[in-house]
Every structure is written in structure tokens, then in C-alpha cells.
Structure 1
Amino acid sequence: MADVRKLLERAGRTYAEEAGIKLADTPAPLYRLLVLSVLMSARIQATIAVAAARELVRAGLGTARRMADASWQDRVDALGRGHYVRYDESTATALGDGARLLLEEYGGDLRKLRDRAAGREELGALLRKVPRLGPVGVDIFCREAQQVWPGLRPYFDAKALQGAERLGLPRDPGKLGGLVDGDDQARLAAALVRVSRDKKLADSLR
């Protein structure tokens, strides 16, 4: 069985942190995490999605209102600077549509979406209404959001559980979450996802 402390030290940086998002239970960082989740949902390298998320924030598009008010070309240009070029035009459209949906339904505040949901299943269903955010994107959002939404814990999706299996760690989310403090569960999930994608990293940690 892998040393969990070593795993967190080596790979326990959340994708939100990597994208420069200082996650908190407030509208702007939660929206930025949502955008990152949309970008990571495509069949594209995580590093490119992270870079594109950073560029969108640098372009001033870090809130639902600013994203909705921006021109389509502004969104395309920011995605291009992040080398998110394969899906830039369709994603620019989806981000604009998603921002408008959030503004109309929740005033741009994802906490209102969370509060409307009766449980995890309904939360996922509401999130999937955001354009380009399918089941994979919902998993990405929730495993990172558990850092500031304790009600989601423990959240380890299929990718994280695949990483756990590689390291000989429990595949049961409850047992896996019990290996770390609650505040570290998002970090553990991110680390396990990296292990699932990187055999060399997994081998070095076993």
C-alpha cells in the first residue's frame, strides 16, 4: 500500500490550485472552478485546460457576468492564448451560454444551485444543465469543490478510484476518505487522478 502522506506531497495539488484559483465558498472562485471543469471535460490534456482557465481569468472573464458580457471573439482569443485551439470556437459559445444560464437561474452564484439540490444526485443533474458539463465534468467539479463544500465529502470519482487501485489503496470512497483529514480529501482525489493517468508516478509511489 502506498504512503498517503508521500502521495499528497508528490501529487496532491488540486487542479483548481494549479489553475491559480484560490478556492473559497464564494461566487467568483466557484464559477472559475466550473469553467475549469468544463474545459477539462473535453478530450484534451489537463495542462492545456488549466492554461486556458488561467487565460480566461487574465482576460477578465472570471465571473459569470463578465463571461456573459464578453464577446464571443474575446472568449475565443483567451482560449487560443491558452492553446485550447481544437475546441476553442464551440467552447467559447458554450461558456457564454453557460454563464447566461447561471445568471438567469442563480444570479451567477453556484451556492444557490447547491442549496436548491436535495442531495448529491440532484446536484449533479442541475450541474449537467450547464453546456458542455457532462458526467465527467460534474465529477471534476465535485471532487474539487469538496474542499469548500464539506457536504460532498468523500467524493472520489471513477478516475480517482482507478488511481487508488493502482496504489493498493481502498476503492471504497468512505475508507479512502478516512485516510486523510476532511480538508485534504480534494487533494487526495486530485493526486489519485494524476496516478491514474501516469504509470511512472504510480510506480514511484508503490
Structure 2
Amino acid sequence: MVGYQDTVRTLLERAGRTYADEAGIKLADKPAPLYRLLVLSVLLSTRISADIAVAAARELGRYGTPRRMLGDDSTATWQQRVDALGRAHYVRYDESTATALGDGARLLLDRYGGDLRKIRTGDIRQGLTEFPRLGPVGANIFCREVQQVWPELRPYLDRKTLDGAERVGLPADPEKLAGLVRGDDLARLSAALVRVSLDRKLAEQVRAA
């Protein structure tokens, strides 16, 4: 494992910022930041660039609780969500996503009282996929990031992260990868591995460093 440490260090330095942090979410085991991570996961699930999805999450940050996302007037708030997505150039799916976010906020309030921590008592991934527009891909995104504050999920290193590991010459095995960093760095490692899985040039830079 010692031989991998330089690669891991370079990987974290160049690509180890979590998507939540990039979206301005100070992740904590509290309802509001967990909800914002849920929104980010929905946005990242769509076939659109991660940069645009993160920018959209920042724009929607003012609606950082499910009640704020719904607002008092559902029609007006839907338009506000569309406008926020448009400002981030999240335009191919802006109307359908605005609807999905409203429906998801209502589901969260009705089923969990607005508190995603309650999902931890059951099958987390199954519970997540019940939210509109959050399928298995979105559930993986949420779990990769939330392992920072939900340690029972560690190590959450799915196929996407293992693909990234292979690309930079690290072992494509969750337990071996987890042994290369501290537990509270696993979310950063996961985000970095996803980035190199999507960006061949970045992966080559990491390997060459």
C-alpha cells in the first residue's frame, strides 16, 4: 500500500474536493445540509455536465429546506425553480426538474417530516430511489458524499469510483482503497476518483505526477 500513497496524495490535491463543498454545502448530519445534498444528487443524476449541476445547486441554495423549495404559492415557486435552473444554464431539463424537486420536497415532508436522517433506520439506497428523478445513480452520488457524516456507509466506493481507481493505477477494491486514507477523507477520495473516471486528461496528470 505504501507505493500508492503518492498517487493518493496527488489525487486528493488535484481533484479531492467533494461536490457538496463545490456547491457551497457545509455538509453536516443536520436536516438542511442533507436536503441540499439530496437536491444536488438529483441535479447530478441527469445527463448534464457536473459543473452545470453544481452551479444549479448553488442557485437553488436559497431554497435550502423542503418547505422553502415548495413555497407558499406552488405555481410561482415552480417558476422560481425554473428560473434558478436557467441561470445556471441547466436548461434541457429545467421544467421537469423543477417539478421533480417540488414533488421530492413534498415527499420528504410527508414521509420523513423533512428530516433525511430518518432514512438511516432502513435501507438507505432504497429510500433514496423513491424520490423523483433519483434512481440508482443518484443514490450512489448521495451515498458517496454523505459517508463524510454517515460513517456507517464507509467505505462507499461504487463502480464509478473503482473505474477511476483503475485509471490512475490504484487497486479497484473498496477495502484496499479505504485503507489508503482516513475514514473522514473517503468522501474526498470518492469525489476525486469519480472526476478522474470522467476526465482522461486529469487521470493522466495524476499518473504522471
TM-score between both structures, scaled by the size of structure 1: 0.94
The answer on 1:79 being equivalent to 2:115 is no
Give 2:197's aligned amino acid.
S
Paired residue for 2:104?
A: 98
Paired residue for 2:50?
A: 46
The list of structure 1 runs, each at least 4 consecutive aligned residues, that deviate by more than 3 angstroms after superposition, is none
Whole-Å Cα distance in 1 between the matches of residues 171 and 159 of structure 2?
A: 13
Paired residue for 1:128?
A: 129
**In angstroms, what is the RMSD of aligned CA positions?**
0.9
Whole-Å Cα distance in 2 between the matches of residues 96 and 147 of structure 1?
A: 27
Give 1:33's aligned amino acid.
L
How much identity, in percent, do the aligned residues show?
A: 73
Whole-Å Cα distance in 2 between the matches of residues 107 and 64 of structure 1?
A: 10
Paired residue for 2:38?
A: 34
State how 1:88-167 maps to structure 2 within 5 Å. 88-115=94-121, 117=122, 122-167=123-168
Q: Deviations over 1:19-47 (max 9, x none)?
A: 00000000000000000000000000000
Q: Give the gaps of 5 or more residues in structure 1.
A: none
Q: Deviations over 1:134-191 (max 9, x none)?
A: 0000000000000000000000111111000111111111111110000000000000
Give 1:80's aligned amino acid.
G
Whole-Å Cα distance in 1 between the matches of residues 40 and 133 of structure 2?
A: 11
Whole-Å Cα distance in 2 between the matches of residues 205 and 5 of structure 1?
A: 9
Give 2:88's aligned amino acid.
G
Paired residue for 2:10?
A: 6
The answer on 1:194 being equivalent to 2:168 is no
Quick one: which of 55, 58, 64 aligns to 2:59? Answer: 55
SS at match of 2:57: helix
Paired residue for 2:206?
A: 205
Range 144-153 or range 69-78, more displaced? 69-78
Give 1:187's aligned amino acid.
R
Whole-Å Cα distance in 2 between the matches of residues 11 and 22 of structure 1?
A: 18
Q: Give the gaps of 5 or more residues in structure 2.
A: none
Give 1:68's aligned amino acid.
L
Aligned length: 199
Paired residue for 2:66?
A: 64
Quick one: which of 22, 31, 37 aligns to 2:26? Answer: 22
Paired residue for 1:184?
A: 185
The answer on 1:171 being equivalent to 2:172 is yes
Whole-Å Cα distance in 1 between the matches of residues 179 and 21 of structure 2?
A: 23
